Structure 1
């Protein structure tokens, strides 16, 4: 038997490969070991307490330590710890959750397919889109458009949709038939003299120009997050979605709303689709669906998508797709309880009551000497940093600020030089002040040092 190093940090370095990490650097500095959590706080193995300003990964809606979710998992584990949804089989939790989601949907939806992550949900959406095109006798209609700075996951197809360079470098991505159009980030993408309304119209025109250049008959679908998350919390300018959606309808292009981050209250409505009056044909959901207590995600499709897929599966004799844990009964039971708690505690009203404080404190950073822009809606936001010296190396200032946050008891995430804030939805006004007080003091420390 291989001898294990003594500390958990040393064993981690010895045996584990980490996501979104410089592997060689990790060998030198090792991990932060989080041992427990309570509400909006987590604690490391030295006893240091942090505000988790990212809700883990944009996802722990009800905070850490919600006992009802633990109890829901325990009850289901004792009753039926696993079963699948292959070959005409089902179980109660997956049926109940599918029914709940269809009834909650902000636009008419027909069916739900369960997966285990946002990446898998978007991957499955791509496969369904291609399958549907073949079913309709349109084999040439396979191209899919997403956006620069969009984030849709890390599996081969979903990472191709993602419009961030480091998700493509050395992976030989994107794959064929995935196209990217203009990011709706006004400050970095605008032209001289272009106001936000004109910029929104140009984004839509760029999309239509791409469709026409490729051939409308070859374009199957468009993927978009209502608010871009991991691409830097990009809030679309007024008029953007109003200009984009008619173009999709004009050329009969399916619209997939990626609600993995926005869904279940993050933007101040239950779905970002409602916040921006979107009319998607498909929606992908994950993260806050179960408060990330267990892995689960979902793809919802309308009848326009489901009908041809069902017909083709009947023609072939099977819809040849499935994951072992699709609709896992324990994960589905936790998601059901999570959504029930959100309704019982009227989480949406709470978000709407504390969001003004969140956005006021966030936007006050526009006066800080290191800040070039703040962006936010609901309970999600970002502070973009810049400095003449450190900005010569993109990401250097963001990493420095993130490290200072950590040292002062605040966990954020720097996306190049933007610091994200996406706390658990249960955060109070007092805790919002506590969170931004730490951020302000940290940025002041850096400004003085520079």
Structure 2
């Protein structure tokens, strides 16, 4: 029987529309109200403590309550609480952060700020179109994304996103956006096909897609180094190495969506550096400020920067920008976050923790409910199936049930359909890793029992 809602939960359902939430069900069960955070833990309004195994929403790489970030924010608010970058105005936090981003991402020449990952990827597409207009190629405007890719929820970025819920009832995707195959070897490979052969086949299919669309009409390819909200899918061996020559052959820009993978999450500063991707432009957000302040950024290479800047002289003005793009608070906190990542050598810390994190994750691979255990760096997933690569019918009931069981044991993880995602703060200790994984086996067993009782197992 459903518990009556608390006063806070009643206020919530009468005041808020929640993202990625079934509003009808939410009205019945109520919100889980989080009150404060400390380190890798958050506490709800009932005083219960939870280990935050998703770093919030892939964001809080430095955990909760970092004093240096908080004090940086306080100092910046006292000095310059708001200013903008329109019409040639600037401020030191924006300049300093851009310099640090360029230093971490060799080959990038200019940085352009927004407030969210969606806005960053919306900007990427506008820049690709602007760039090709400046190059005298007005027909070269199509963008190729991937099925299960996640790039945001604004009109164009949601069109780039290759997930059904981002399109249903929103009249999406819009024209000019196309999707190629998901690079998921476990689910997509043909019998006996190696990872390298699978990658080569996807590259051939990608080449054929561009040829069919017309190379003179395809502007850019956008990809996450590791697919996040699509299920934490790392590319198979040789994938980006096979894709890169196809992009070069057809003069197609490569956009790396580093919103989740950036700033150490994979054991390198950026995921593309670990996974062999060669981008012309990079999107970043989330861990850019440790999740403490909304801020995103797009970095572009020298070729794009030179063409775009020259074209502004021809058209008279660069007619794109956001009121809060380059907000001094976000830039100051972002700059401090990068200093902390460097001082603590967070990428090296991730590399040191990765073997144990991935070992623990893969220890569940033989559980009857787990189809695949996968991950890289401090990213991971358990994909739940009724057997083999089959999918549950209906999809999206078993994963949330497991997540709720884990919540009862003090662990917050995210169910993406029937895949359980892991993305703990990069400051997590080995003892805290033990706490994160301690209830997994028991909750898998409980979920298996429930799914069997419900007739959902093969």
Judge same fold: TM > 0.5, yes or no: yes
Structure 2 residues not aligned, in runs of 5+? 453-458
Q: Cα distance, 1:316 vs. partner?
A: 1.1
User: Structure 1: how far apart are the matches of 2:6 and 2:379?
Assistant: 40
User: Structure 1: how far apart are the matches of 2:88 and 2:391?
Assistant: 58
> Where does residue 176 of structure 1 map in the other structure?
175
SS of the residue corresponding to residue 368 of structure 1 reads coil
> Where does residue 455 of structure 2 map in the other structure?
none
> Where does residue 419 of structure 2 map in the other structure?
418
> Where does residue 278 of structure 1 map in the other structure?
277
String of CA shifts for 1:55-75, please: whole Å, max 9, x gaps: 000110100010111100000
The yes-or-no answer on 1:375 pairing with 2:374 is: yes
Q: Normalised by the size of structure 2, how large is the TM-score?
A: 0.95
> Where does residue 99 of structure 1 map in the other structure?
99
Q: Cα distance, 1:390 vs. partner?
A: 8.8
> Where does residue 407 of structure 1 map in the other structure?
408
Farther-moved stretch of structure 1 (94-103 vs 382-391): 382-391
Structure 1 residues not aligned, in runs of 5+? none
> Where does residue 206 of structure 1 map in the other structure?
205
User: Structure 2: how far apart are the matches of 1:236 and 1:410?
Assistant: 28
User: Structure 2: how far apart are the matches of 1:131 and 1:83?
Assistant: 26
Q: Cα distance, 1:431 vs. partner?
A: 1.1
String of CA shifts for 1:137-188, please: whole Å, max 9, x gaps: 1000000000000000000000000001110111000110000001001122
User: Structure 2: how far apart are the matches of 1:111 and 1:408?
Assistant: 46
User: Structure 2: how far apart are the matches of 1:350 and 1:301?
Assistant: 28
SS of the residue corresponding to residue 112 of structure 1 reads strand
Q: Cα distance, 1:445 vs. partner?
A: 2.1
Q: Cα distance, 1:125 vs. partner?
A: 0.7
SS of the residue corresponding to residue 365 of structure 1 reads coil
CA contact (8 A) 1:410 1:439 kept: no
Q: Cα distance, 1:392 vs. partner?
A: 1.8
> Where does residue 456 of structure 2 map in the other structure?
none
Q: Normalised by the size of structure 1, how large is the TM-score?
A: 0.97
The yes-or-no answer on 1:142 pairing with 2:141 is: yes
Provide the aligned length of Structure 1 versus Structure 2: 445
User: Structure 2: how far apart are the matches of 1:168 and 1:399?
Assistant: 21
User: Structure 1: how far apart are the matches of 2:391 and 2:92?
Assistant: 55
CA 1:384–1:11 in structure 2 vs 1: closer, same or farther (change >3 Å)? same
CA contact (8 A) 2:398 2:447 kept: no
Q: What aligned pairs does 1:434-449 form with structure 2 within 5 A after superposition?
A: 434-449=435-450
Q: Over aligned residue pairs, what C-alpha RMSD do you find?
A: 1.3
Q: What aligned pairs does 1:211-230 form with structure 2 within 5 A after superposition?
A: 211-230=210-229
Q: Cα distance, 1:366 vs. partner?
A: 0.5
User: Structure 1: how far apart are the matches of 2:386 and 2:46?
Assistant: 33
